[in-house]
Amino acid sequence: MSEANPEVHREGKGETPGDAASTALPSSPFATPEQALADPEALLSLLFAWAEYGWIRDLDAALPHRLARLAPDGDASCLLAAMLVSHQAGQGHLLLDLNQARRQPETLIAVARDVARDDAAPPPPEALLGRLGDDWVNRLQRWSAVAQGPGASPLVLEAERLYLRRYWRNEQRVASAIAARLSTPGTSTKDHPTADSDAARLRPVLDTLFPPSDPRADQAASQKLACALGARAPFAVITGGPGTGKTTTVIRLLALLQTQAIAERGAPLAIRLAAPTGKAAARLSESIRDQIAALDELPLPDAAQVRASIPHEVSTLHRLLGARPDTRHFHHHRLNPLPLDMVAVDEASMVDIDMMAALLDALPPHARLVLLGDKDQLASVEAGAVLGNLCARAEQGHYRRDVSDWLEAATGLSLPEALHDGDGRALDQSVAMLRHSFRFDDASGIGQLARAINAGDSRRALAVLDDTAFPQAQRQALPRANERRLMTLALDGRGQDAAWGYRFYLGAITPRPDTPEAGALEQSGLLRPRPSLSSERAEWDRWASAILEAHAQFQLLTPLRAGHYGVESLNQRIEQALARAGLIDKPDHSTHWYEGRPVLVTGNDYALKLMNGDIGIALKVPVEFANPEAGTTLRVAFPAGDGQGGIRWVLPSRLQRVETVFAMTVHKSQGSEFVHTALVMPDSLSPILTRELVYTAVTRAKKTFTLLSASDVVLAKAIERRIARQSRLFQSPGT
């Protein structure tokens, strides 16, 4: 079989390789579905045409092209399956469900209806998938590129589920490693207490950490139960929405474990805290300092040693494991495990299957693992939804009676009857859900909106947005033709609690007297005069900190990167509008750097101590602080993350991986919070618009959320559509 030529349909003309000219219709450069399924060459050329139309990735078309050479005994239906399993991985799925692909082909690959009906377009994927016969699985079983378990083949077939071998292997590794840790609670050990006597020893410390006399004891009950559950076994998951106290809970869990370890072993545990991104790590580092300081108010035994033994810094998972540049490998692995007794990972919803497998592989058998995150947030960008799989049954609890009794002995709290399940799985006994939000109560529009979204209740969500009783959550109609409205909202809008829009933080750079933003800045304490050129660096740091805080008052989010409502277009249009209004000095399109430009770091830079997701602002400062004779230059101010308001000043020429961030994608906003968040919803449906995306955008807001929407239908459809990443992880009844 000759190789397919990927350039044939990239040019949009010409014949397919080999004898394709004899099989293609004279009136079309593309093979019909019947011809493509009968001829591997015709199929491969059609796949490259799909990639040209943007229906699949170039990578998806390249994989079957490669396998056609390595395993030429596969027919066209086998090559089609290879393309589909690659495409599914690109959509975050671990596998391809062959039965679903045949019966619901329209759910696999998004093709705009108007394009699909275009006579000049190639036949859409569903036209081929709908013609596959019942013997598709049998054909794959006979293909040399496929194995039905361990081996070296690039693809793995389990019943009617097809995997790329890497994802099959890592799914197996994660399931086996967690199952091994879940089997530990059956016996009582010093490190993993499970017996009644161990519960009795935990009770005094838990009552110290969560005093029953505290007026908020009822609201903190789920935190106390989560701490007990986390101390019970070497594996635990703590999930909860914004403001439910995940950081508080994990710090008190660490205090509990260290108190026990010091009392019983005479030495604390070796513990590390980690997060999937630099931004998430920095945020957790800031939060834990306050929570550790709060332990001073509690009469813990060996309090000073306990506080000193809790990590004050958080690293990225890549740094924790020792990432090797330009490879998927790490310094720490099964043969060189981490020298630790415990790892706690925050924002675990962002951890993909590959990273979770690498982490579990690097943990010594005795080490504890605690995962924290919001199960309802967006899953990882890469394949897998590990936290979502782990927490699939968290809402209902499913605790067995013996575990319920143990928790009552350890905490003095009784579990609601609705959370009991005599047939609860082993995994259920290690998952705790925090159920009370200290940030969003019943009167909070954001809390009400988030709950409606999670319930898939689009009518309720729209009602909350329109209800004046919930001013923290609001919406503005945004017809596509009304460009002026979007710019007005982004630049000059006003929220309930504070001014918002980009005029606000720009007013902190160059104050404009007698303007609304000047009054709001002064009221918030963020209005500082620009220091003189002779001022010391500390004064410039304080000025920059106030500007960064003013910028964090508001952030515009969008689901998309490209298109009219994509982040690239929005950033360009907002920048142009600000220049026209005289709020920034950007003389022409060739000028990339100007004072006031907000930038987002898009990749970790350990030399500069900047992490993916960090936000900085370009400011005009002295070339040498406290030396007015040296002149001025642009530097980008980033928070130093030292808890002291320090600033990291970086020359723009040293920033190789940054982008303007007047608008930010919802995915990039994970791990961040803003006082006021506005979400721009596109005016047409897209596969990326899901319940989890809308929820993630809403919960980035601390006080106010605004929806800028052109269509109620698009919002409703997004809320009603869940991310359903295909996986077999933790779906076994005995897990």
Q: Is residue 90 part of an annotated ligand binding site?
A: no
The residue type at 666: V
Torsion of CA 508, 510, 516, 522, to 10 degrees: 40
How many Å apart are CA 193 and CA 675, to the nearest integer? 42
Rg, the chain, Cα only: 28
Q: How would you classify the pairing of strands 368-373 and 473-477?
A: unpaired
Q: Locate tokens 């292997």: which residue?
A: 169
260 contacts: CB under 8 Å, gap ≥ 6: 193, 201, 202, 205, 231
Q: Is residue 12 part of an annotated ligand binding site?
A: no
Q: Is residue 244 part of an annotated ligand binding site?
A: yes
Q: Is residue 717 part of an annotated ligand binding site?
A: no
Contact 101, 131 (CB under 8 A): no
Residue 707 CA, distance from chain mean position: 20
Segments of 256-379 assigned E as strands: 271-275, 314-316, 342-345, 368-373
Q: Locate tokens 């530990």: which residue?
A: 184
Q: At what angle do helices 691-698 and 712-720 cross, to 10 degrees?
A: 110
Paired with 345 in beta bridges are 274, 371
Measured from the Cβ of residue 618, the count of other Cβ atoms closer than 10 Å reads 23
Tell the burial category of 639 from Cβ atoms under 10 Å away from its Cβ (0-12, 13-18, 19+): buried
Q: Which of 263, 363, 269, 340 lies closest to 310, judged by CA? A: 269
Tell me the CA distances in angstroms from 562 to 177, 382, 390, 556, 665, one per residue in order: 40, 19, 33, 15, 10
How many Å apart are CA 128 and CA 9, to the nearest integer? 18
Q: Is residue 422 part of an annotated ligand binding site?
A: no
Q: Is residue 247 part of an annotated ligand binding site?
A: yes
Q: Is residue 92 part of an annotated ligand binding site?
A: no
Q: Is residue 243 part of an annotated ligand binding site?
A: yes
Torsion of CA 579, 580, 583, 585, to 10 degrees: 40
Q: Which of 587, 583, 555, 585 lies closest to 570, judged by CA? A: 555
Q: Binding site: which residues? A: 240-247
Q: Binding site for ATP: which residues? A: 240-247
